[in-house]
């Protein structure tokens, strides 16, 4: 049986509608909002221990949203963070910001929060990151 699954992808938190299978793996966690806020690549963001802690908190919230939607996820946040420390690629939202184009914030950041609200899941880390990205977009005139 197929279900819609919230997945946190490398440009985290990206919402992807997928046909869910039990034991789905959730890829990397934090680069997109942190990249927008710092204008840095994941390898530079994850070099900071506090940013890795932020990633762990966001991943925990993302997994809670997925669990509330009935999805069983497998993830190894430490392996994902290690992989992120090698990524020099700029997430698409940072590329959009730097090009002066409207960022896909509604899909990437707002949709997971709406699902969390529907499920009654608290997301203080994701709430703060989303608010800061929203403000960054306003400051850039986007």
| CB neighbourhood size of 9 (10 A) | 17
List, for residues 43-63, the tens digit of each pLDDT value: 898 889 998 888 888 888 888
- In this prediction the pTM is 0.74
49 and 4 Cβ atoms separated by less than 8 Å: no
Smallest Cα–Cα separation from 94: which of 27, 7, 12, 29? 12
DSSP result, 76-108: -HHHHHHHHTT--PPPHHHHHHHHTPPP-HIII
Question: Residue 109's pLDDT band (boundaries 50, 70, 90)?
Answer: confident
Output DSSP code: residue 141.
T
In CATH, what is the architecture of 24-139? Answer: Orthogonal Bundle (1.10)
């Amino acid at each position: 049986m197929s279900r819609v699954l919230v997945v946190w992808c490398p440009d985290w938190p990206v919402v992807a509608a997928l046909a869910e299978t039990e034991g789905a793996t959730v890829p990397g966690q934090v680069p997109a909002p942190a990249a927008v806020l710092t204008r840095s690549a994941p390898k530079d963001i994850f070099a900071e221990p506090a940013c890795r802690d932020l990633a762990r908190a966001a991943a925990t919230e993302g997994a809670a949203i997925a669990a509330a939607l009935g999805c069983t996820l497998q993830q190894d946040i430490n392996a994902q963070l290690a992989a992120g420390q090698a990524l020099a690629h700029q997430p698409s939202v940072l590329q959009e910001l730097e090009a002066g184009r409207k960022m896909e914030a509604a899909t990437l950041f707002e949709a997971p929060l709406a699902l969390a609200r529907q499920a009654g899941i608290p997301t203080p880390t994701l709430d703060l990151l989303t608010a800061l990205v929203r403000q960054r977009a306003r400051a850039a005139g986007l």
